[in-house]
Amino acid sequence: MSEVYTRRAPLALGTILIIVLILNYFAPTLPYIGAVASEITKWATIIALFAGLYAIGILFAHNIRRIYTRPGANTDFMAGVTFIGSFVVFFACLVLTGTGSALSQALSTHITGMITSTIDGLSLFYFIVWAYRRFRLRGIYNVMLIIGGITWLMKETPLLVYLFPGSRTAALWIYDTFVTAVTRGATIAGAVGALVIILRTIIWRERGILGIEVR
């Protein structure tokens, strides 16, 4: 019975959805197909919202558990308290004043915005140290990585573009020749792979993740 719930039912549902959406994409003039596809996408949006709510619930429960089960462990305890505290404050403000209110905007700008900008600023220190430690001419792959990376970095550094105009030409040549070719190849390969998986799903030959997560 569980096999029906965890695998066959989702597969059957997935197959129907895929067929309807493919028909809607390639033959939108078919009768009723537009309305059915529209209803499906509407439900997908609703499900996505509920999935978000579910994720919030899990985070909330996890952090409450952290506070109660590990009161002695400072880092864990403080992380839990910070999460719950900020969640309650933000939630109360957003619910009481509305998401478009000046208070909500101030909270987002002066707390979320400032904290994330600070983290971004701090990450600069780690990026530079990482570049210093890892960009070593150790082998052919590293040499290629460094040549590509430094050329692109020079293009992104206005002063260096001014001092060495050729660096920009070189970077754009790498982008137009290698990057475009490789990413186009990867995109086409990915698309073909996705198509194969979809076809296998439709004929019930692809297990995917269905059933695995539930168990």
Partner 1 sequence: MAKEIPPLIIYTIIFVVFIIALVTIIPTPLAVEKPVENFYDAIVSAKGGIAVWSTETQFAQIESVGPIEKAVLKTLAANKIKIIIEPFNPQGPQYVAKLLADIKIEEVYGYKYGVDYVIMPYLAGEEVAFAKGTKFEEAYATDFYGTPIQNIPLLQGVKTFADIDLIICVHLTCTWPDMFIRQYWTVYHKPMILLTNGCSTAIAPYLGKGVIGYIDGLGMGAQFEFLANVPGGCMRMITPRSLQGLLIICFVIAGNIIYFATRLKGEKKEVKK
Residues that bind partner 1 (CB under 8 A): 38, 41-42, 44-45, 47-49, 52, 99-100, 104-105, 108-109, 112-113, 116-117, 120, 124-125, 127-129, 131-133, 135-138, 146, 150, 153-154, 156-162, 165, 168, 172, 175, 179-180, 183-184, 187
Q: Looking at beta carbons only, is 67 or 146 nearer to partner 1?
A: 146
Largest CA distance in the chain: 71
Give the residue with the Cβ less far from partner 1, 72 or 121.
121
Q: Which CB atom, from 5 or from 43, has the smaller least distance to partner 1? A: 43
| In the complex, least distance from residue 194 CB atom to partner 1, rounded to whole angstroms | 10
Closest distance to partner 1 from the beta carbon of 77 (Å): 26
CB of 3 to partner 1, least distance (A): 28
Q: How far is the CB of 113 from partner 1 (least distance, A)?
A: 4
Query: Could you give the CA distance from residue 183 to residue 188 in angstroms, rounded to a whole number?
Result: 8
Q: Which is nearer to partner 1, 48 or 209 (by Cβ)?
A: 48
The CB-side HSE value for 11 (13 A sphere, CA atoms) comes to: 21
Ramachandran sector of residue 206 (left: φ over 0; alpha: ψ -120 to 50; beta: rest): beta
Q: What is the DSSP string of 89-122?
A: HHHHHHHHH-TTSHHHHHHIIIIIIHHHHHHHHH
What is the closest distance, in whole angstroms, from the C-beta atom of residue 82 to partner 1 in the complex?
Answer: 17
- Residue showing tokens 């600023």: 121
φ, ψ of residue 139 to 5 degrees: the values are -160, 180
C-beta of 122: minimal distance to partner 1 in Å? 10
| Of 77 and 152, CB closest to partner 1 | 152
Nearby residues of 23 by Cβ (< 8 Å), 6 or more positions away: 30, 33, 37
Nearest to partner 1 of 31, 165 (CB atom): 165
Q: Could you give the residue ranges of the DSSP H alpha helices within 135-215?
A: 140-155, 158-163, 165-174, 180-202
